[in-house]
């Protein structure tokens, strides 16, 4: 497979692995928060994928990212000078049940570096066992590492807050899951990897001095406006609730299912974090469960917004020793209930090409969702084809997606009436920017993974390039934007990775 051309040329960075300006402000919180340790080496590593866009943002020299030294460093075989590897401790609720102490069971935070966009932490995922691995081996496997590498960039390309991935390295070292697989390491970046579960850990263990230090750290670094509030910790909870509401709206609008929305997988910065059994919807099913391990459907697509609120409630409980009054904590959560639907309908209006808000818009969106569900219409293809909808014809390529043509015609009439007075060019431009042609469907990831197991990484490279600019046409790659094959419905993704 050939990769599409990237729109931006490679820019030379200024640093190699030996000259990165490291700091680890998280480590300054104290040893109650982490354990220092080194990564466990993997034999004969090889490159699986490199994200040169992230490398540029980190200021890394393009030549160094091609080197054996970089390969060894990002596999965990060689310590980058100035880095200070550590695994952090946290706790959490998993599938609604308090799980007690968890922590970075296979991730090592190397530290943070200054970039033009602000400090970025760099973390190795799959670098070996830590004190928080419990019964695990501390490793990640090739399939899940490729999925995280590609999906974090897919979400970034869609404009959705997310962690990023710099690279994936592989090794033929065996790793036992349901079957014997091979090992891989993802190098990922974010302003911070702090989760709701970090606060739960220190609150539930009665370490309220550490809880306050953590909250102050997050406020001072990421939410400085909260410091001026009458109750800074309640203001922090409210700010996190608002970010989480916007994140959930972004997920729902693009048809993204996370699969494991435990409190230890919720970012305090409102980022999408910890890509495991995720999925972008194919046929629209509000009740779709993407995680084969989620036998109760707790994290089904249509339940994600409520689960996010449940997790925020847990965060509020964790912060109660600092907030002091339960009523203040509950009040800080209230904005979520209005901001999520507001953000959701705002995103859906842009997908419809509507720049302003009218009273009938909510019904138009809700009726559209019901119609998609009743006809099991492919979610991404519907929205992309809708770009060419005209009030005069109803546009046959859209109508052809529905077996119930009469119901579609009724909805199309309502949509046509709403478009009266809307500038067609402005509408088309708005929809082009909000209805992606390319999303990381499960079958596309599976095809790239199958090839990668045979040491063919061209599929990873092609998908990475497409997903970095998913709204562009990318001539010659229409097959990546087509309907999923019949076998795609048999793909099962679980928590195992």
Residue in the structure block whose two tokens are 């999408």? 272
Please state, in angstroms and as integers, the Cα–Cα distance from residue 465 to each residue in 151, 346, 461, following that order: 12, 28, 6
* Residue 342, helix vs strand vs coil: helix
Please give the Cα distance from 211 to 204 (Å, whole number): 10
Please give the Cα distance from 480 to 26 (Å, whole number): 41
What does the block give as tokens for 134?
């419990």
Please give the Cα distance from 382 to 156 (Å, whole number): 22
264 is catalytic: yes
Label residues 404-431 b or e (16+ Cβ within 10 Å = b).
Answer: eeeebeebbeebeebbeebeeeebeebb
Please give the Cα distance from 161 to 3 (Å, whole number): 25
Are 87 and 34 contacting, i.e. CB atoms less than 8 angstroms apart? Answer: yes
Please give the Cα distance from 241 to 57 (Å, whole number): 28
User: Which residues have CB under 8 Å from 425's CB, separation 6+?
Assistant: none
Q: Which listed residue (84, 264, 274, 378) is catalytic?
A: 264
From 275, 46, 290, select the one nearest 150 (Cα to Cα): 275
Label residues 274-289 b or e (16+ Cβ within 10 Å = b).
Answer: bbbbbbbbbbbeeebb
Q: Catalytic amino acids?
A: 264
């Amino acid at each position: 497979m050939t990769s599409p051309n990237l729109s931006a040329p490679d820019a030379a960075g200024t640093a190699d692995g030996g000259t990165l300006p490291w700091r680890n402000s998280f480590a300054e919180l104290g040893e109650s928060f982490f354990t220092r340790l080194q990564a466990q080496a993997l034999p004969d590593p090889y490159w699986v994928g490199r994200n040169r866009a992230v490398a540029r943002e980190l200021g890394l020299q393009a030549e160094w990212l091609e080197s054996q030294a970089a390969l060894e460093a990002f596999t965990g075989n060689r310590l980058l000078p100035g880095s200070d590897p550590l695994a952090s401790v946290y706790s959490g609720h998993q599938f609604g049940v308090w799980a007690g102490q968890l922590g970075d069971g296979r991730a090592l935070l190397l530290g943070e570096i200054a970039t033009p966009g602000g400090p970025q932490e760099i973390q190795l995922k799959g670098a070996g066992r830590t004190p928080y691995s419990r019964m695990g081996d501390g490793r990640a496997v090739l399939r899940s590492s490729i999925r995280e590498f590609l999906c974090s960039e897919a979400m970034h390309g869609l404009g959705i807050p997310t962690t990023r991935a710099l690279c994936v390295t592989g090794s033929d070292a065996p790793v036992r899951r349901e079957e014997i697989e091979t090992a891989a390491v993802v190098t990922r970046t974010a302003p911070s990897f702090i989760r709701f579960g970090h606060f739960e850990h220190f609150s539930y263990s009665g370490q309220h001095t550490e809880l306050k230090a953590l909250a102050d750290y997050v406020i001072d670094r990421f939410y400085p406006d909260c410091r001026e509030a009458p109750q800074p910790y309640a203001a922090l909870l409210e700010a996190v609730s608002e970010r989480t509401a916007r994140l959930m709206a972004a997920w729902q609008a693009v048809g993204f299912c996370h699969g494991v929305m435990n409190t230890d997988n919720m970012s305090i910065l409102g980022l999408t974090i910890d890509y495991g059994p995720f999925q972008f919807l194919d046929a629209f099913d509000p009740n779709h469960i993407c995680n084969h391990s989620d036998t109760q459907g707790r994290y089904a697509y249509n339940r994600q917004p409520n689960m996010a609120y449940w997790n925020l409630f847990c965060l509020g409980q964790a912060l109660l020793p600092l907030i002091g009054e339960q009523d203040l904590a509950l009040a800080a959560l209230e904005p979520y209930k209005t901001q999520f639907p507001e953000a959701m309908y705002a995103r859906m209006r842009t997908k419809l090409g509507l720049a302003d808000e009218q009273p009938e818009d909510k019904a138009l969106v809700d009726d559209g969702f019901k119609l998609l569900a009743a006809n099991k219409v492919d979610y991404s293809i519907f929205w992309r084809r809708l770009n060419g909808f005209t009030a005069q014809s109803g546009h046959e390529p859209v109508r052809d997606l529905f077996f119930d043509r009469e119901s579609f015609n009724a909805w199309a009439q309502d949509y046509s009436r709403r478009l009266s007075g809307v500038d067609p060019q402005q509408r088309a431009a708005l929809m082009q920017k909000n209805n992606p042609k390319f999303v990381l469907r499960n079958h596309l990831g599976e095809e790239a993974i199958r090839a990668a197991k045979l040491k063919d990484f061209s599929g990873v490279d092609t998908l990475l390039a497409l997903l970095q600019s998913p709204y562009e046409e990318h001539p010659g790659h229409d097959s990546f934007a087509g309907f999923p094959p019949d076998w795609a419905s048999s793909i099962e993704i679980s928590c195992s990775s």
